[in-house]
Structure 1
């Protein structure tokens, strides 16, 4: 009876250990914040995901869309939590979102930055 009890406890412990070592895609990063706009460039910062998925975040994918468009467009990637978007057109209103990527895949998108009017600083 003692042997049987030990085996059962061992299997329970093994199950608990493996259940805690699950790997997944990361959580969504924080919503991007526009920290500077100059001419055709826009500097963004965002927070890393709270949940990494059990693996290091390898990079971030940044998407943008113009007001009135429904389709998001990838405008670049970054290994850090900041990104400079080039090619912005003065007078356009754009919004940004970010994905985190680890070795298991891509996160859900961050919340949107909200629309930003691209204009030169005076």
Structure 2
């Protein structure tokens, strides 16, 4: 079963790759629990759901042309196998790294169990 989320997560990336735009995740914190990445299964780029930002934005924050920039931005998605410790069974998680010029944020977008 695959469940979709849009939860913000804190991600620790591989040290030697921190200077890259989207470095390989090695651990993340989701809902107060630390998950250790056991392996990267796949990675790809996809367009961001820019309309969510447009719907949630305050009128005072919206600037002309910004929607076009958001529409053109992508996110780097990492499909990882991870678990909350070595004694737990691993699950498959999709972590999205928003690479927009305004932000540098990670979110959990899908969980397969």
TM-score (structure 2 length as normaliser): 0.28
Task: State the TM-score, normalized to the length of structure 1.
Answer: 0.27
Bigger Rg over Cα: 1
